[in-house]
Amino acid sequence: MLSESEHDLKHVLNERLAKLLREEELKWYKMAKVKHLLEGDVNTKFFFHLVANGRHKKTCIFQLEDGNSIIIGDA
C-alpha cells in the first residue's frame, strides 16, 4: 500500500506524463500539417485516413480510475 506522500507523488507524475504526451501529440500533429502544406496533397486518401485515425485516437479513453481500482481498455 502506498503512503499518502507516495500517492500524491504518483498523481503528480501521472499528470506530468499526460501533459507530456499531449505536447508530443501536438508537436507531431503540427509537423504533419506543415509537411502537408509544404509538399502538397499528393495522396488524398492516405492523408484523410491519417487525420481521421489521429482524431479517433484523441477521443479514445485508455484508462479510468475509480477510487482504488483502475479500468484499462474497453472493460
Q: How many CA atoms lie within 13 A of 1 on its CB side?
A: 3
Contact assessment for residue 53 and residue 60, using Cβ atoms and an 8 Å cutoff? no
pLDDT tens, the chain, 75 aa long: 889 999 999 999 999 999 999 999 888 888 877 776 666 656 666 667 777 676 655 556 667 777 777 777 665
Integer Cα distance of 14 and 8 in angstroms: 10
Domain boundaries in the chain? 4-72
Its pTM surpasses 0.85: no
